[in-house]
Structure 1
């Protein structure tokens, strides 16, 4: 495997990096909250060994805490408007250091779009220091023709701009000064590529400067290798892991067979703290996208477990019981949890409470038990949990909570209701080994906030419709609570059925807010768009804002049914469309909502696909036609009455 590749004509003499050389780092960060992620701290702490001066440029304002973190890491911290992407951030840092550039032998222009170092920096710098060159980059991109953004000409071969090192012969040259002086404005990602990243390398090699790429493209395919071959680059010694593979469109990664879990396993093998990756991604990536890209479904073994009894977690089951006859089953499930588990039951009235207490007394569970009569059944299990148990959830008494409720789903058919209950109970607490394996996940992953069954789909039209009428309510509640995790586009990653494992700290934003039973309304308010259904979709976003990621959990028995149904259904839906799944989805997105296949629906689809510029004119024609039809119908009715 190649470990370096020469760039340019080598028409100018170049030097190695001196043994006593000095290096300047200009590091550009962006965080829409103004905070500084732990992964940034980790990277800068380890870059300090190789950099004499560190200038950190924040594209956007910093919080007080964010600035303090950066000031502890850098020699100069600058804030600027979030304009011009990282490239104009580089320029801002260069302008600030213009009078001192001649003090340095090498300049590093680096941004925060990577995690690392996954592999040590030292071998990289030792190797590149010994090479006579003018500039070098971490990774590269092959020439593309035609240009993918302009669709004409070509995108030149180039070093990727997230990490470029430049030696003094180049950054003290008139050509360097002119390049940054004349840097064009950039208002889009396309601008950033076409006006800097894609032209920088060719611009300077054409002027006689030479360079290298430390970890060149691994194949002859024209792809973004830093994204699509991240695992292979790590194994080749590359210290940087681009963040993009974990928020790339999962449909595209499926088409090119990129498995994020394999990359994460490589990261773990080489000792990088994976929790830094999830802390960042949980805050900034649509949860359903992250769940797919990082393969965050765990299949729970029914025959063995990874639970460590020497590190027990203080665990409590919170169960809202409306149907008293389900009490025994809930207690059975709770009994699968390892160690001693407390049980807190909520119920709507005193009669139910007495009956539940009798059942509990007859079973004599080992842990603490408590039955609470809530003031109202408004909001059902949601309100009982967030209002009726708020004091316990805020007490820090428990490390782990399990939320359950007596579920029958009587509004659906018998099979549908039975399946939904089994989907919840059997995936959540399928047996002693399965339950212990879920607890083990929380033992091993301090950043894990929630774990819950996958999206229910057998018997339910959830796929493609998981938001139903609840997205506006979720968006409004996120604004109120200061949750800035991006909402999923199609369906949320959510514990449908509202049963889950959680760290109480991960639920803090939901629990600290003082809810009232009146807000939930009565039984008639338990509908899509109502507060209870909105809150059902909130936990993952609330946890993500605090840096906790979520996982889905399932048993092999469930997946045997679920996957085979998915496999057949996707096969059926793909039968009338050409090519692969990505192209099919892109085609359907362009076509838009299919509706019920009426003549008007098909006309609208055809216009969206082939004549989008004529949409308003077609709408006017249909509007006039419908108005005329209405007038004709009313005239006929008048004639009939006569």
Structure 2
């Protein structure tokens, strides 16, 4: 495989990087919270050995702590409005350095859209230092025809990707360089950033006679974003940068191209990069269901091998809300699957149930501590019992891991549906000793793991595509109230449906900061979609993500044997009337919009959305008038019939 590629016609003299040369880094960051992730600090710490001065430009205001973190690793920290993307951030840094730039032999323009160094910086700097050139980049993008962003140009030129461009003195002291940045156009959209800088920079300067190289050229002849789609292969080739985009790209697109994010993460970990920093960042900034798919955060629990380390037990409590006393023994049986001594905290709505539960517990002679609490109300059921009745324990730092379960029968559903939902919860969470130890091992191995719970229930439940139901407005309101800025999933939330999960108590801190009351949950009639209980059922992953904790789904092989086969057949049936691959099918269906029930009006609406979207409002008005006319005629007929 090629490790460098020449760019330009070499009509101007070029220089190698001097043996004792000086390098300036302008590094642009953006965080909508004004904070600074560990991955940024890590990158800048590793740049220090190769850069004599580090200027950090924040697109947007920084918190006091964020600024302090940057000042510890940079020489100059600048804040500016979040305008013009990273390109205008580079310009701001260049303007701040001014004529002092002539003190340096090389200028590095870099942003924070990547994790690293995954592989050491040293070899790449050593290699590129020895090449006479004017500029160089880490990765490139092939020419694209027709232009994907604009009709004004017939092609997107071959270019170095702008997240990492190095420029030598002969180029940045040239009048052409000064003119380029003096006349830099305004950029208000992502397409502006591509069409007005990234896509034109390389061609602009090579046409002026400057020469460059790409350190890790495109790996195939496919016109694709190789830094995103071939990240694993680039790491294996020695590339120190791992773009963040593979972990928030639309999963359907990555599926079509068979891009496996888990393999990329394994490559990063294999090369010594602390992947916890990756998940800290992604948990806060990526839709959880997207991250779950892109990073393959489902773990299949082995029934024979668990990897649990008995020398590092986690202080664990099972918190069980028991309404159906007859399920107490089953809950105890499953709690005993957990490794090490485990405490059992039971909540129940009345004293009579509490006495019956205590008698069952007394017969079992459990090894850990046990406590039965009578909660003040059954309003909110297990949600309120957990967040109100156990709040003191959850905030006490007594436990490192808790397992939230409850007696579940779902009598309002059919017998099969209710039975499956209960088994879906219990048998994925606590199927047996090995499976339970498997889950605890995940928390031992991943200090940034906040929650683990079964995948979205779908057998017998219409959750696919509808998981928010009427709860999204309440979640949005609660997120704003609690300061949770994790992006909400578009179609269905990543959530512990059924409200049973493993969790670190500190990952739930934002939910516990609120002192809930039973009155807020309302009585039995309030236990419906849109109510506080159902809103809170969808909140834990987002609350944990705001604090940098990621979540995982867990399943047994037995469950996946049922779940996958149903998914496989259902997708096959839904795809039979549609062309091409899943990405094209989904794009087509999303463009068509809500299908409705196949009425004439539904088909007209679909056709308009697909072929005449600009006429959609006009067609809607026509149908509205038609409906009103039909209503008038119907009422007139009734009056005539009545005489």
- SS of the residue 1:463 aligns to: coil
- 1:449 CA drift (Å): 0.1
The aligned residue for residue 262 of structure 2 is 261
| Matched-pair contact (CA < 8 Å) for 1:113–1:162 | yes
The aligned residue for residue 593 of structure 1 is 594
- 1:121 CA drift (Å): 0.3
Say whether 1:130 aligns with 2:101: no
- 1:99 CA drift (Å): 2.1
Q: What pairs up with 1:440-451 in 2 under 5 angstroms?
A: 440-451=441-452
Which range is displaced more, 143-152 or 449-458?
A: 143-152
The aligned residue for residue 536 of structure 1 is 537
2: CA distance, partners of 1:128 / 1:621: 65
- SS of the residue 1:27 aligns to: strand
2: CA distance, partners of 1:180 / 1:478: 41
- SS of the residue 2:594 aligns to: coil
- 1:372 CA drift (Å): 0.1
The aligned residue for residue 66 of structure 1 is 66
The aligned residue for residue 233 of structure 1 is 234
The aligned residue for residue 162 of structure 1 is 163
- SS of the residue 2:487 aligns to: coil
2: CA distance, partners of 1:523 / 1:52: 66
2: CA distance, partners of 1:626 / 1:356: 60
Q: What pairs up with 1:64-463 in 2 under 5 angstroms?
A: 64-151=64-151, 152-463=153-464
The aligned residue for residue 3 of structure 2 is 3
- SS of the residue 1:568 aligns to: helix
- SS of the residue 1:218 aligns to: coil
Q: What do the CA deviations read for 1:255-293 (whole angstroms, capped 9, x no partner)?
A: 000000000110111000000000000000000000000
What is the TM-score when the length of structure 2 is the normalising length?
1.00
- SS of the residue 1:97 aligns to: helix
Ranges of 4+ aligned residues in structure 1 off by more than 4 Å: none
2: CA distance, partners of 1:532 / 1:625: 42
2: CA distance, partners of 1:17 / 1:480: 53
Q: What do the CA deviations read for 1:61-113 (whole angstroms, capped 9, x no partner)?
A: 00000001011111100000000000000000000001201100000000000
- SS of the residue 2:49 aligns to: helix
The aligned residue for residue 28 of structure 1 is 28
The aligned residue for residue 56 of structure 2 is 56
1: CA distance, partners of 2:568 / 2:621: 42
Q: What pairs up with 1:615-634 in 2 under 5 angstroms?
A: 615-634=616-635
- SS of the residue 1:588 aligns to: helix
1: CA distance, partners of 2:442 / 2:596: 43
- SS of the residue 1:449 aligns to: strand
2: CA distance, partners of 1:43 / 1:592: 44
Q: Which runs of 5+ in 1 are unaligned?
A: none
Q: What do the CA deviations read for 1:566-608 (whole angstroms, capped 9, x no partner)?
A: 0000000000000000000000000000111111111111111
Q: Which runs of 5+ in 2 are unaligned?
A: none
- 1:325 CA drift (Å): 0.2
| Matched-pair contact (CA < 8 Å) for 1:24–1:106 | yes
1: CA distance, partners of 2:306 / 2:637: 75
2: CA distance, partners of 1:360 / 1:115: 50
- 1:624 CA drift (Å): 1.5
Q: What do the CA deviations read for 1:405-455 (whole angstroms, capped 9, x no partner)?
A: 000000100000000000000000000000000000000000000000000
Which range is displaced more, 70-79 or 280-289?
A: 70-79
The aligned residue for residue 19 of structure 2 is 19
The aligned residue for residue 581 of structure 1 is 582
- SS of the residue 2:117 aligns to: coil
2: CA distance, partners of 1:624 / 1:148: 40
1: CA distance, partners of 2:620 / 2:238: 58
2: CA distance, partners of 1:545 / 1:465: 24
- 1:384 CA drift (Å): 0.2
| Matched-pair contact (CA < 8 Å) for 1:394–1:512 | no
- 1:639 CA drift (Å): 1.0
- Count of residues in correspondence between the two structures: 642
